[in-house]
Amino acid sequence: MGDDKRIIFLIPFRGIASIVIHIFLGIFIAILATSYFAEIFSYLGLPIYLSYGLGIEIAFLSLLLSPINIVIKRWRTTSFRFNKT
């Protein structure tokens, strides 16, 4: 039980080209998500400046924290185990 890792950090890209593509698509998706979150929060009655502020915060925090995964349940199977001989 002591060797179980509960937080996994995975880098979502390999190489320079995939870094550029990831940043470009991430900013594009963050802009779209910001406008969606701002609409939702404004429908809930928040002021427009607070709606856009929360939308930007949620979009960019989601983008920055996407490589971090928390392990909820670990499945232990022996069907893919290789024997060293």
CB 12 within 8 A of CB 67: yes
> Are residues 55 and 41 in contact, defined by beta-carbon separation less than 8 angstroms?
yes
Check whether 3 has a pLDDT greater than 60: no
pLDDT at residue 16 is higher than 70: yes
With a cut of 70, say whether residue 69 has pLDDT above it. no
pLDDT at 19: 74
82: pLDDT confidence band, cut at 50, 70 and 90?
Answer: low
pTM over 0.85: no
Range with the poorest average pLDDT among 6-20, 55-69, 71-85: 71-85
